[in-house]
Amino acid sequence: MAAFGQAAAQVPLVLDPAKLRLASLNAVVVDASANRPVYAKGANDVTPIASLTKLMTAMVTLDAGLSLDELIAIDMDDLDYLKGTTSRLRMGTELPRLEMLRLALMSSENRAASSLARTYPGGTPAFVGAMNAKAALLGMSNTRY
Residues classed as catalytic? 51, 54, 108
In sequence order, the 6+-apart residues with CB closer than 8 A to the CB of 2 are: none
In sequence order, the 6+-apart residues with CB closer than 8 A to the CB of 112 are: 74, 89, 95, 100, 101, 103, 104
- Helix (H) or strand (E) holding 30, with range, is strand 27-31
Separation between Cα atoms, residue 110 and residue 123, nearest integer Å: 16
Separation between Cα atoms, residue 130 and residue 140, nearest integer Å: 13
Rg (alpha carbons) of the chain, rounded to whole number: 22
Distances (CA, A) of 1 to 35, 93, 104: 30, 63, 51
